[in-house]
């Protein structure tokens, strides 16, 4: 049996969630942004190991579609299948009424793009110079976003 559990995010998780976010993001969300996501009714999930939050996922349902806004796994737990488990279960929690899921991801983020492809997302396009980026790596201080989509149901079925 897996030692990890996935459940909906609680307000009391936010300090741990924001701590993970600060470790992995160049421009991290604040605790307040996570609180607003929860109170706005976004589908926020966490993955737990021994009562400690080790990752999170934020999906924004919009009618019969959803946007994947953010997800991350604590660097100490990356590469162990947690991201895949969290993403699959978070998508399942959207229910069958959700037929499409969209996301944007940094073009350089190979681990995330590979994870999204693994669960069935396909590249739809590129948004040029979308993200602020480290000038040491991107001379203009900007990085492209890759737009991806997952079709979950048969829209004609």
Options 41, 79, 155, 157; binder of ligand COA; rule CB under 6 A: 79
Residue 58 is a binding residue for ligand COA (CB under 6 A): no
Is there a catalytic annotation at residue 116? yes
The pair phi, psi for residue 122, each rounded to 5°, is: -120, 150
55 contacts 80 by C-beta, under 8 angstroms: no
What b/e sequence results for 53-87 when a residue is b if at least 16 CB atoms lie within 10 Å of its CB, and e otherwise? bbbbbbbbbeeebbbbbbbbbbeebeeeebbebbb
C-alpha R_g of the chain: 16
Give the residue closest to ligand COA by C-beta: 83
- Count the site residues for ligand COA by CB under 6 A: 20
132 contributes a contact to ligand COA by CB under 6 A: no
Residue-by-residue DSSP string for 65-127: EEEEEEEEE-GGGTTSSHHHHHHHHHHHHT-TT--EEEEEEETT-HHHHHHHHHTT-EEEEEE
Q: At its nearest, how many Å lie between ligand COA and the CB of residue 108?
A: 10
Q: How far is the CB of 156 from ligand COA (least distance, A)?
A: 30
Range in contact with ligand COA (rule: CB under 6 A) among 3-11, 67-75, 121-129, 139-147: 67-75
CB of 152 to ligand COA, least distance (A): 19
CB of 35: closest distance to ligand COA in angstroms?
19
Q: DSSP character for 11?
A: G
Give, in degrees to the nearest 5, the angle at Cα 27 between 26 and 29.
Answer: 130
Q: Which of 71, 94, 146, 150 is the binder for ligand COA (CB under 6 A)?
A: 71
Binder among 19, 81, 132, 151 for ligand COA (CB under 6 A): 81
Q: Is position 51 annotated as part of the catalytic site? A: no
Residues of this chain that interact with ligand COA (CB under 6 A) are: 24, 70-73, 78-84, 105, 109-112, 114-115, 118
Residues with catalytic annotation?
A: 104, 116
């Amino acid at each position: 049996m897996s030692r990890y559990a996935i459940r909906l995010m609680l307000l009391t998780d936010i300090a741990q969630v924001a701590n993970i976010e600060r470790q992995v993001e160049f421009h991290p969300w604040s605790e307040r942004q996570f609180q607003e996501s929860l109170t706005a009714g976004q589908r926020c999930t966490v993955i737990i190991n021994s009562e400690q939050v080790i990752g999170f996922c934020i999906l924004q349902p919009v009618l019969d579609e959803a946007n994947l806004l953010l997800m991350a796994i604590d660097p100490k737990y990356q590469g162990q299948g947690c991201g895949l488990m969290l993403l699959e279960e978070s998508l399942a929690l959207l229910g069958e009424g959700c037929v499409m899921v969209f996301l944007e991801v940094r073009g350089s983020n190979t681990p995330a793009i590979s994870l999204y492809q693994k669960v069935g997302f396909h590249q739809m396009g590129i948004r040029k110079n979308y993200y602020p980026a480290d000038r040491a790596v991107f001379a203009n201080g900007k990085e492209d976003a890759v737009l991806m989509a997952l079709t979950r149901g048969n829209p004609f079925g």
